[in-house]
Amino acid sequence: MRVMISKIRHRMPSFISLSVFWLSSFALLLSTTEPGLAQSSYADHQYTSEDIEAGSRVYIAECALCHRRNGSGVDGVDLRLGQFRRPLSDNDLREVITTGIANGRMPGIDLRQDELDGIVAYIRAGFDPSGVAVRVGDAASGQMLFEGEGECSTCHRVNGEGPYLAPDLSDIGVIRTPAALQRTLLEPSVPCFRSIDRYGQ
């Protein structure tokens, strides 16, 4: 366990900004959703469960050879965790998939629109075929909410700052997918399980 924690800490700098980005983005999402409408707004995302399920099949057939089934096959990119070399909107993702990346690093793929939408939905759902695609908000505004009105920082610790009243969220981008984070924030009553080893750690 200590070795695993050590490895995570060595990788931490590259993930801290990712963690803060997702936390802040989802905090913003909460701020723009009336409490009574949170559940319906969450369910009415533009991508359906059918899109995500279909996208998982297309991804495995067209993308997994290079990106691997878990999305971490390319250096500096983790599709399952939403980590890209630069911020990408859904349309940016579609363009990269269809036109590829210069210098032959990634060829473009000729897909039908529904297949393309499915891959994007699957990525946004954190590679969970039964999940829900995430909505990405504005990180700066979300961080203000996280540290201010939302009072998240009164209990949670991030990047060495904050109390120890609730779990430290510095590495949350490593251990939770964006879809799982969104689900936790929008449906706080749903149990959130964290994997443990055979020693209970």
41 plus 56 within the same structural domain: no
In a domain? residue 185 = no
Query: Could you say which of 111, 134, 157 is where a domain stops?
Result: 134
In a domain? residue 192 = no
Q: Which domain holds residue 89?
A: 46-134
Query: Could you say which of 108, 134, 160 is where a domain stops?
Result: 134
In a domain? residue 50 = yes
Please tell me the distance from the alpha carbon of residue 184 to that of residue 181, in angstroms, as a whole number: 5
In a domain? residue 23 = yes
Q: Which distant-in-sequence residues (6+ apart) come within 8 Å of 166 by Cβ?
A: 155, 156, 157
- The torsion defined by the Cα of 168, 172, 176 and 180, in degrees rounded to 10, comes to 80
126 plus 145 within the same structural domain: no
In a domain? residue 187 = no
In a domain? residue 147 = yes
pLDDT tens for the 201 residues of the chain, in order? 343 333 333 333 333 444 444 454 444 444 443 333 333 333 334 778 888 889 999 999 999 999 999 899 998 888 988 888 876 788 899 999 999 987 768 899 999 999 999 999 999 888 887 766 666 667 788 788 888 888 888 888 888 888 888 888 877 766 777 667 777 777 777 665 555 444 433
Q: How many domains does the chain have?
A: 2
Q: What are phi and psi of 13, to 5 degrees?
A: -55, -40
Position 60 scores a pLDDT of 94
Please tell me the distance from the alpha carbon of residue 157 to that of residue 162, in angstroms, as a whole number: 4
40 plus 86 within the same structural domain: no
Query: CA nearest 98: which of 77, 80, 120?
Result: 120
99 plus 123 within the same structural domain: yes
34 plus 76 within the same structural domain: no
24 plus 51 within the same structural domain: no
110 plus 152 within the same structural domain: no
107 plus 122 within the same structural domain: yes
In a domain? residue 5 = no
In a domain? residue 184 = no
73 plus 98 within the same structural domain: yes
| Cβ contact 74:67 at 8 Å | yes
Query: What CATH code is carried by the domain that includes residue 87?
Result: 1.10.760.10
